[in-house]
Structure 1
């Protein structure tokens, strides 16, 4: 009867370790949620006659990486 208890206990330990590992892996994959919302840059009003294209730092970076 002692062997049955030790096998059961060993199984529980390995099952618990496997569950803890699975939970840790799931927590690592989930995206993080910030508690404080980030301040956004104030948006400029849309132009009245179109012309919404603006050369920003991101556009310049794209042009830099797109060069052959």
Structure 2
């Protein structure tokens, strides 16, 4: 795996990391709370976007 592909996560990888279901991840993407890009027909979430999402959730909970 190259450094560039290591920075892009698949929806199933994000599901595992957040312990959330597929529809919830797509809802977060649709609501723009989780930034994603399309590569061809595939949806990818930058690792930095996931980190930002988690940090925002922690800040909201505090």
User: TM-score surpassing 0.5?
Assistant: no
Report the structure number with the largest CA radius of gyration: 1
Give 1 or 2: higher strand fraction: 2
The TM-score normalised by the length of structure 1 is 0.28
The TM-score normalised by the length of structure 2 is 0.30
The structure showing larger relative contact order (alpha-carbon pairs under 8 Å, at least 6 residues apart) is 2
